[in-house]
Amino acid sequence: MQISEELAALISRAEVATATARRLLDENDRWRRSAEWQLDYLFELSAEFRRPVSRLRAFPPRPAAGGN
């Protein structure tokens, strides 16, 4: 069975489109995994910064009222 040039061109275009779609899906998956990793990392940083720090103070203690 012989296929027409038009059909052969359509098949070729479909193969190129399929390859492009697969490449874009793979790229999208890489972006998704990267975004998930970044969100996980930011969540871990947030949890780290929210831990109470008992030994450190944000400001030095104020002197007692009335001076020396």
Name the percent of the chain lying above pLDDT 90.
Answer: 56
Q: Is the pLDDT of residue 35 over 90?
A: yes
3-class SS at 41?
Answer: helix
3-class SS at 33?
Answer: helix
Q: What was the pLDDT predicted at 43?
A: 87
User: Would you say the pTM of this structure is higher than 0.75?
Assistant: no
Query: Looking up tokens 């400001």, which residue turns up?
Result: 59
> Tens of pLDDT along 41-51?
988 888 777 76
